[in-house]
Structure 1
Amino acid sequence: MPVTRTPIGLPRLDAAALAELAARLTPRDYEILSHLHQHRVLTTHQIQKIFFNLPQPTRRRLGILHAFHAITRFRPWTAYGGGSAPSHWILGRAGAAVLALKDDTTIAQLGYHPDTAMAISVSKRLGHQIGVNDFFADLHHHARRTSRQAEVGAWWSERRCAQLWGDLARPDAFGRWNENGRQLDFFLEHDTGSETLTKVIAKLADYANLAEATGISTPVLLWLPSRARETNLRQRLTSAEVPVATAVHTTIGDGPAGPVWLAVGSEGPRLRLAELGNAWPHLGRAAGSPAGADEE
């Protein structure tokens, strides 16, 4: 009788192995797997910010998931610090299989392929993706440790946004932030400084087209790498057809949830993320979620 061999490096995904894995998974584990599937890659520190309180339990749980091939990891080389970066985690084949079983679908219908998942490890957009995920990990972290009633109500990936609105605009992410009874829906443009300011500003025309098509003006947040770049951008962008606010990458204080945002056309003061709606009172009901954002 011929013996079926599993390729080197890939786990055997038979029913018994998947049943054992499923029996060990907690609701938080499923959330981790789902986030990795949706957002491609998360560092150990980002996973801790979103799901855990301390480093040791984070590493311990990730180690268990890794041992069962639910997740896999890589450590990209970095010129800064003279070595490799922290562990970067992506969804593994077994993790994709249990997600598919949970959703009563197949791995193929889930849209998972191990080569595609691992492609982020060599992508030129890895740093950009990590930056976008840092933004939302910091919001999660703030929500979990603040005395304010706060939560990340939505975090949609670039891929999901493109599927819904890509013919008009391609944000890096769509988010919803709730804090103390206030809610703000927004598109995120995570700027690394690699594009000219002319190109960054030109993107706003796409959001204006989306607002015209949907009848809803969703704020666009420009998350910039330096104060100098923000100053230069604001000097060139004195008004916009859609609500726009700028801030500089920071993890100090409350991070992106804090009073770091300045609406285009305003001289200040800077507002908390949840308060940004105050900057555009004239929009009224026209501001909010773009078409499809409330559909799950």
Structure 2
Amino acid sequence: MRLNPAERARIASRLTQRDYDILDALHTHRVLTTAHIGGLFFTTQTSRRARTRLLDLHRLSLIERFRPHRRNGSAPWHWVLAPAGAHILAQARNISIDDLGYRHDHVLSLAHSSRLSHTTGVLDCYVAALTIARITPHAALTTWWDERRCAVEWGEHTRPDAYARWHHNDTTIEAFLEYDTGTETLDRVSAKMTGYANLAAHSGLITPVLIVTKSDARESHLAARLRPVLTSDVPVRLTTHAQFTSTGPLGYIWRLASPSHDGRHRLLDLAHL
């Protein structure tokens, strides 16, 4: 859908800076649920104002939505950037739609992608990390790179699902994130540690790997499988999706892969373990 200048001007007059931020986030992350947008741009993930505003943007044909099929219950609305929204965003950036790099067919393919739950799971972690940083005194999430950006930076050695940097008080914490949906074999997940070890050897930097699993049982099984392959060059910590999203990454949610499993630790304590 191409908009003529008059239509673009009419729509632009009805948009706030937050609306542009939502369009920009949809372009950057490709897909966001209502809860993601509520957590990123409104008071809470369950914000009624978020739902209302998303419907307004939908009626303006700037965003589209879909609900992936679930065997049990219904999935939340998933939002993507529509062609008209891409044109409005490109206009705001003073670039062409081609320079924006928007492909409507790629956006629509997300609705049927086998990686959709993985993508939204990583985004759950991003929203939780940003939300807890906002309400924690002297804390900030200063960097979050997605899988594509990580591939550009470190693809020769490994491809994390995300890279994050937090500041908390006088401490800076950096980490790679691996989001485990349970669809890959334990051996395949374990094999990824070789890439992180190679990166550490090449860069001389020790960066922890944080693995977020879908369940307690998966976390335990993965920890057991990782023990024989872990080295001091690759500090690995594990938690579950439920703990990460409810407590946030700065809380006492991280366990070691050691058989003793001596409780949960904070990210702030990672350097001392």
- What band does the TM-score fall into relative to the shorter chain? 0.7 to 0.9
Distance 1:246 1:177 in 2: 18
Which residue does the alignment assign to 1:154?
143
Aligned-residue RMSD, C-alpha: 2.2
Matched position secondary structure for 1:69: coil
Whether the aligned pair in 1 keeps the contact of 2:142 and 2:165 (CA below 8 Å) is yes
Whether the aligned pair in 2 keeps the contact of 1:247 and 1:260 (CA below 8 Å) is yes
Which residue does the alignment assign to 1:258?
251
> Quick one: which amino acid aligns to residue 222 of structure 1?
I
1:228 to 186, 198, 217: 217
Count of equivalent residues:
266
**Residues 209 and 23 (structure 1 numbering): CA distance in 2 closer, same or farther, change over 3 Å?**
farther
Q: Identity percentage over the alignment?
A: 45
Normalised to the residue count of structure 1, the TM-score between the two structures is 0.82
Matched, 1:50 2:40: yes
Matched, 1:15 2:5: yes
Whether the aligned pair in 2 keeps the contact of 1:263 and 1:276 (CA below 8 Å) is no
2:20 to 30, 38, 45: 30
2:155 to 166, 172, 175: 166
Distance 1:270 1:61 in 2: 39
Normalised to the residue count of structure 2, the TM-score between the two structures is 0.88
Distance 2:60 2:78 in 1: 17
Q: Deviations over 1:80-126 (max 9, x none)?
A: 12xx4111001122222233233332222222111111111110111
Which residue does the alignment assign to 1:175?
164
Q: What stretches of structure 1 move > 6 A for 4+ residues in a row?
A: none
Q: Unaligned 5+ residue runs, structure 2?
A: none
- Quote how far apart the aligned CAs of 1:65 are: 1.7
Matched, 1:74 2:63: no
> Quick one: which amino acid aligns to residue 118 of structure 2?
H
- Quote how far apart the aligned CAs of 1:264 are: 4.2
Which residue does the alignment assign to 1:64?
56
Distance 1:235 1:98 in 2: 50
**Residues 92 and 197 (structure 1 numbering): CA distance in 2 closer, same or farther, change over 3 Å?**
same
Whether the aligned pair in 2 keeps the contact of 1:243 and 1:264 (CA below 8 Å) is no
Distance 2:15 2:170 in 1: 33
